[in-house]
Amino acid sequence: MFRIQNNIVTGFFAVVLLTATTAYAAESVDVIKLRMGAGNLVTGKNKSELCQGCHGEKGVSLDEMVPNLSGQYARYIAKELRNFQTGARTHQIMSALAKTINDAELMDISNYFASQKKMQGNGLGDNPVGKKLFLKGDASRKIPACESCHGVNGKGRAPNISNFPVIGGQHKEYLRAQLVNWRSGERSNSPDGMMNKFAHPLTDAEIEALADYLSGL
């Protein structure tokens, strides 16, 4: 009995995995290059050993609170690292670590993680509340559709527009923490404080729904 159930469960995951793989066809080298920066890939890979223990060898982290960096925009990664260096964004570990690398290393490492396959979610986050906010926002509370900046499935607005980070396929707990931090003002490093404004009206339940939906993409 257990064996049969087990097979059904395994079959189910195989189907999900298959759908997820076919939904995201491999990106071409030209497309990947558009999100990369000027840094040196070989040095970047070597220097990123400093980061791999937490962010994973290829930028896919195993810890829900540590963001995936794989396929993130190089310029966004670099901006965040500089923000950690100056104190515009703070986090106990990252603020200290960012100060241990120089600007050339910062560019190289950003480029290395950007060159990796774009982060992908578990394919299970079909949260209707999160989906509606992501696609439509809520005009009555001046919340714009997240998709208008973060792009289709949260994979970025366009391969060459680096201002809006990839959030689709990011870890759920990390997303939730960032949305809570945007709402409280604990994180305030987005241009014109835009993310603080958008997150301000969100309820805890909506943040949970958004994190659930986005992490599945």
- The contacts of residue 94 (CB under 8 Å, 6+ apart) are 84
- Binding residue (CB under 6 A) for ligand HEC from 36, 60, 74, 94: 94
Q: How far apart are CA 134 and CA 119, in angstroms?
A: 18
- Binding residue (CB under 6 A) for ligand HEC from 107, 198, 215, 216: 198
Give the range of 8-16, 19-27, 121-129, 188-196 binding ligand HEC by CB under 6 A. Answer: 188-196
Site string (117-136) toward ligand HEC, x via CB under 6 A: ----------------x---
- Binding residue (CB under 6 A) for ligand HEC from 149, 151, 155, 212: 149
Site string (13-42) toward ligand HEC, x via CB under 6 A: ------------------------------
Nearest to 119 by CA among 75, 78, 70: 70
Site for ligand HEC contains 50 (CB under 6 A): yes
Site for ligand HEC contains 178 (CB under 6 A): yes
CA 63 centroid distance within chain: 13
Q: How far apart are CA 206 and CA 133, in angstroms?
A: 8
- Is the Cβ of residue 20 or residue 97 nearer to ligand HEC in the bound state? 97
Q: How far apart are CA 125 and CA 216, in angstroms?
A: 4
Give the range of 3-11, 35-43, 116-124, 176-184 binding ligand HEC by CB under 6 A. Answer: 176-184
Residue type for position 158: A
How far is the CA of 12 from the CAs of 5, 24, 128, 202, 209, in angstroms?
A: 11, 19, 21, 34, 23
C-alpha dihedral (87, 91, 97, 99), degrees to nearest 10: 10
Residue numbers of the site for ligand HEC (CB under 6 A)?
50-51, 53-55, 65-67, 69, 77, 79-81, 91, 93-94, 97, 101, 109, 133, 143-144, 146, 148-150, 163-165, 167, 175, 177-179, 189-191, 194-195, 198, 210
